[in-house]
Structures are given as structure tokens and as C-alpha cells.
Structure 1
Amino acid sequence: MRIVVIGGSGHIGTFLVPRLVRAGHDVVNISRGQRSRYVDDPAWAQVRHVAADREGEDRDGTFADRVVGLRPDVVVDLICFTLESATALVERLRGETGHLVHCGSIWRFGPSLKIPITEENGAPPIGEYGIGKAAIAKMLQEESRRGGLVTTSLHPGHIVGPGWHPVGPLGNLDPTVWRKLSNGEPLEIPGIGAEFMHHVHADDVAQAFEAAVARREAAAGEDFNVVAPSALNVRGFAQIAASWFGQTAELRTVTWEAFRRTTETEAAQASWEHLVRNHYFSIDKAHALLGYAPQHEPEDAVLESVRWLVEHGQLDVAGPLKI
């Protein structure tokens, strides 16, 4: 099949595009062309690249026409963030292609009320980003169930892998947490440290997208959680991360008010956004319908990311990794 991947040079696409090529598909990658892939793969030599500014072309009403003009059998959309953009693409693809596979987010669900969170029992979303992702997923499902375009939405957790900073034990991207843990310094954590975050390796997300393409009938009109087999809470994440450097984490619980006083505003808000949701998801549906079988536990995926950053001089730590 000819598969058009929108945003194929990013985290997921770095692993997904080579997977699709090796599966025998004709792959076209649409991206702005401003970023190199995180991991090299010889399969990229067989990929056609189309440079496009989606945001600008969405404003002009031309982006969906560009996609249709490539005559895809399948469209994989990895970079859609507004209902308006998703709707415009669906309306133009209807009757023109066989399957749209959309990348959502676990943030389409709000703070957990029951865990693990399934595709059916998630709480209503909070925040502009989560509300937007939930609206897109609902629109796509309704489109397919009334006989329109066949769609599937996949909802990854906090994506990690080589080449970029992971969401750390405090629920933000502040790299100082790794220096403190690697040096055995005290780490202040807001609350009691029992809040969950659900990570996933980028290649496991790519596996799920490949499976959705291959199992179109099973995936049609469905939505799926795409996360690691387990989740980490704050204190467990911190203890595991410290052990990579031969340390034991010294954790000091503080109130959110105290945490905000000693943390940069952006980092403190990111911590709140991640931890207030307290997310731990079930992948039973993806396993049953798609055969999804993630290969990375969350700590292994984060370790791969941290190791890459240390080896490339992009992370300040107090000593070498011991594993």
C-alpha cells in the first residue's frame, strides 16, 4: 500500500517509517523538513519526502488537498492537535482513501478515578490539550461508526527513546533531577510520591501503529491506549533512576506550595499537569485486537534515553551509569 505519514520525522515516525518500509509499503513522509531523524535506518533511503508547513497550509485550506494528491491508501497522522485540523482532513479524505490512523494522547482522559484506565472508564479530560485530543477521538469514532471514513485513534503515553529528554521522576523535563539522583542529593517531591506516570518507548508506539495499519478491520472505528506494560509512580521512578548511578534516592515530601516556591514556574506546572492525572492504563484492548505487545518496560525505555543523553554530552550527571 501507499502510506502517507504526516510528521514522520518525529519521535514515533523515526521508528514507524522504517517498520512500514520493511513491511513492503510505499511510504511518503510529510514534514517541515527542519529536523533530522532521531535514529538512522537504511530504510529511509526508500522513503519519498514532501516538505510542507501543516499549520500554514491548514490556515490556507490546502493541506488536506496536498495529502489527497499523494493518492494514499492509508494516512497516518502523527501531528494533529486541533479538532478543526482533524475535521478538515477527514472531510477531504472521505471517499479518497481507505484508512486514517490518528495519533492522540493519554491526556484525552483526566485525573484517574479507577485504575487501570481503559478506553471506556476514563474521566473527562482537563486542560486545553486534553480536551482537544478527546474531541478529535470522539469525532473520528463517530465518523467511522456512521459509515464514513474508516479511522483509528491510538493514544500513547509519555514517549521516550534515544535522542530526547524523558519526562522525569518529578513529572517534568527539568534535567537537574538526574544530577541530584546521580549524586545522592536529597530530592523534594510534591505530595507523597504515589502518583503514576505511564511512559512508552517510541518503537512500541510504532509497533501499535503498524499493527493498526495491518489489521484495518479490527482497528476500524476503534481507539486504543498505547503504553508500556506497567507504570511508574514518583517514588519508584526516583529509586530506580538513582540505582542506575549506584545511589539510593533520598526523597523528601513537600507540599505543592513549597514545591512551587523552589521550582521554576514552567517545570512546576508540568509536574502538576502530569501528576494530578495519576495515569495508569490498560493495554488489554490493543493486545486483543491489534496484537500489541510492547517490548520495553517504562524504566528500560527511560534508561535508554538517559544513556543516550549522557553518552552524547547532553545531560549533566555526577557520575557514570553503573548498568
Structure 2
Amino acid sequence: MKVVVIGGSGHIGTYLVPRLVRAGHQVVNISRGTRTAYADAPEWREVEQVAADRERQDAEGVFGDTVADLRPDAVVDLVCFTLDSATALVERLRGATGHLLHCGTVWRYGPSRKSPIAEGEGTAPFGEYGIEKDRIARMLKAETEGGGLATTSLHPGHIVGPGWHPIGPVGNLDPGVWRTLSAGRPLRVPGDGAETMHHVHADDVAQGFELAIAHPEAARGEDFHVVAPTALNVRGYAQIAAGWFGREAVLESATWDEFRAGTTEEHGRTAWEHLYRSHCLSIEKARTLLGYAPAYQPEAAVLESVRWLVAHGGLEVEGDLVA
């Protein structure tokens, strides 16, 4: 098939585009042309590159034409964040392509009430990002159920892999957390440490999209979680991470006010957003309908990110990785 990937130079596309080429598809990548993939692969030499500024073209009402004019059999949209943008694309592609696949997020759900969360069983989202992604997923499902364009939405957890910082053991991107754990110093932990985070390696997300393209009838009108087989809680994550440096994690419980007082506003807010949701998602639906089989446990995916960052000077730690 001819598959158009919108935003294929990012985290997921770095792995998805080569997967699609290896599967025998003709692949077109639409991007702003300002960034290359996080990891090089020979398959990229077979990919047609189309430069387009989606935000500008959405404002002009022509982005859908850019995609449709490529005559794709399937479209993978990795960089859509508003209902208006998604709706405009659906309306233009209706009748012009066979399958539209959208990248959502587990943040389409609010704080968990039970674990694991099955598709559609989470609480109402909060925050603009999660609310918009949930609205998009619901619109896509209604579009297909109403006899319109065949659509699928896939919802990743916290994406990790070589080249970028993972969400860390206290739910934020504070590099000081890794320094503290690598040195065996006490780490202040907000809440009770039982809150969960559900990571996923970017290549496992790519696997989910590849499978949905390969099984369009099973994927039609569906939404899927694409996460690691298990989730990490704060205490366990910290202990595992400290062990990578031959250390034991020394954890100090703190109230949220105490935690925020000892970090930046951004790190405090990000930690709360992740830990308050305390997500753990089910992948049973993706396993059953698509054959989704994630290759990475969450700690292995995070370790790959940390190892890459340390090796490339992107993360300062005390001591050597022994894992």
C-alpha cells in the first residue's frame, strides 16, 4: 500500500517508517523538514519526503488537500492535537483514502479508579491536551460507526527510547533525580510511592500502528492502548533505577507541598500531572484483535533511554551504569 505518515520524523516515526518500508509499503513522510529521525536506518532512503507546515496549512484550510493529493491507501497522523484539525482532515479524506490512523494518548483518561484500565473505561480527562485527544478519538469512532471514513486511534503511554529523556521515577523530567539515585542519596518522593506510570518504547508503539495497517478490518472503528506489558510504580521504579548504578534507593516520603517547595514549578507540575493520574492500562484488546506483542518491559525501555543519554552527554550521573 501507499502509506502517508504525518510527522514521521519524530519519536514514533523513527521506528514506524522503517517498519513500513520493510513490510513492503510505499511510504511518504510529511514533516516541516526541520528535523531528521532520531535514529538513522537505510530504509529512509526509500521514503518520499514532503515538506509542509501543518499549522499554517490548517489555518489556510489546505492541509487536507496536501495529504489527499498524494493518493494514499492509508494515512498515519502522528501530530494532530486539536479536534478542529482532526475533523478537517477526516472531512477531506472521506472517500479519498481507505484508512486513517490517529495517534492519541493515555492522557485521554483522568485519574485511575481501577487497574488496568480497558479502552473507554477511564475517567474523564483534564487539561487541554488530554481533553482534545479524547474528543478526537470519540469523533473518529463516531465517524466510522456512522459509515464514514475507516479510522483507528492508538493511545501510547509515556514514550521512551534512545534520543530523549524518559519520564523519571517521580513523574517528571528532572535530571537531578537520576543524579540522586546514581549517587545513592535520599530522594524525596511525593505521595505514598504507589502511584503508577505506564511507559512504552517507541518501537512498540510503531509495532501497534504497523499491525493496525496490516489488519484494517480488525482495527476499523477501534481504539487501542499501546503500552508496555506492565506499569511501574514510584517506589519500584526508583529501586530499579538505583540498581542500574549498583545502588539502593533511599526514599523519603513528602507531602506535595514539601515536594513542590524543593523543586521547580515545572518539575512539580509535571510530577503531579503524571502521578495524580496514576495510570495502568490494559493491552488485552490490542493483543486479541491485532496481535500486539510489546518487546520491551517498561524498565528495559527506560534503561535504553538512560544509557543513550549518559553515553551522549545528555545526562549527568555519579558513577557508572552497571546494568
TM-aligned CA deviation for residue 36 of structure 1: 1.7
Cα distance between partner residues in 1 of 2:36 and 2:259:
36
Q: Give me the whole-angstrom Cα distance separating, in 1, the residues matched to 2:68 and 2:148.
A: 16
Structure 2 counterpart of 1:207, one-letter code: Q
Match of 1:57? 57
3-state SS in 2 of match to 1:114: coil
Partner of residue 314, structure 2? 314
**Residue identity in the other structure for 1:149:** L
- Which residue does 1:229 correspond to in 2? 229
1:121 Cα deviation from its structure 2 partner: 1.5
Displacement after TM superposition at 1:114 (Å): 1.1
Tell me which residue corresponds to 2:214.
214
Partner of 1:171: 171
Task: Tell me which residue corresponds to 2:244.
Answer: 244
RMSD: 0.5
Alpha-carbon offset, residue 17 of structure 1? 0.1
1:30: which partner in 2? 30
TM-superposed CA distance for 1:63, in Å, is 0.7
1:160 counterpart residue number: 160
**Which residue is 1:300 aligned to?**
300
User: Partners in 2 of 1:270 and 1:109 — Cα distance?
Assistant: 16
Aligned to 2:253: 253
**SS at 2:130's partner residue?**
helix
Deviations along 1:21-53, one digit per CA (max 9) or x if unpaired, are 000000000011111211111000000001111
Measure the CA separation in 2 of the matches of 1:278 and 1:195: 5
After the TM superposition, which residues 123-134 of structure 1 pair with which residues of structure 2 at under 5 Å, given as runs? 123-134=123-134
Aligned ranges for residues 31-50 of structure 1 at < 5 Å?
Answer: 31-50=31-50
SS in 2 for 1:14: helix
The count of residues paired between Structure 1 and Structure 2 equals 323
Provide the residue aligned with 1:20 in structure 2.
Answer: 20
TM-score (norm: length of structure 2): 0.99
Deviations 1:174-212 (A, max 9, x none): 111110000001100101110000000000000000000
Distance, in Å, in 1 between the alignment partners of 2:75 and 2:301 is 27
| Pair 1:274-2:274 in alignment | yes
- Give the letter aligned to residue 217 of structure 1: E
Q: Which amino acid aligns with 2:47?
A: V
1:27 aligned counterpart, secondary structure? strand
The whole-number CA distance in structure 2 between the counterparts of 1:192 and 1:267 is 18
Structure 2 counterpart SS, 1:71: coil
Say which SS state the counterpart of residue 4 (structure 1) adopts. Answer: strand
> What is the aligned partner in structure 1 of residue 187 from structure 2?
187
How many angstroms apart in 2 are the aligned matches of 1:53 and 1:174? 31
Measured in 2, the distance between the counterparts of 1:311 and 1:207 equals 27
- Within 5 Å, give how 1:142-153 maps onto structure 2: 142-153=142-153
| Residues in 1 aligned to 2:66 and 2:49: alpha-carbon distance in whole angstroms | 13
Cα distance per residue 1:111-150 (max 9 Å; x no partner): 0011100003211111111111100000000000010000
2:97 corresponds in structure 1 to 97
Residue 78 of structure 2 is matched in structure 1 by 78
Rounded to whole Å, the distance in 2 between the matches of 1:36 and 1:63 is 21
SS at match of 1:224: strand
Q: How far is the alpha carbon of 1:90 from its aligned partner? A: 0.1
- Match in the other structure for 1:68: 68
- What's the counterpart of residue 4 of structure 1? 4
1:141 aligns with 2:141: yes
Post-superposition offset of 1:100: 0.1
The answer to whether the 8 A contact 1:114-1:121 is kept is no
1:116 aligned residue: 116
Gaps of 5+ in 1: none
CA deviations 1:54-89 (Å, max 9, x no partner) are 111111111111000111000000000000000000
Runs of 4+ in 1 over 2 A off after TM superposition: none
The 2-side partners of 1:84 and 1:128 are apart by 13
What amino acid does structure 1 have at the position aligned with 2:205? V
- TM-score if structure 1 supplies the norm length? 0.99
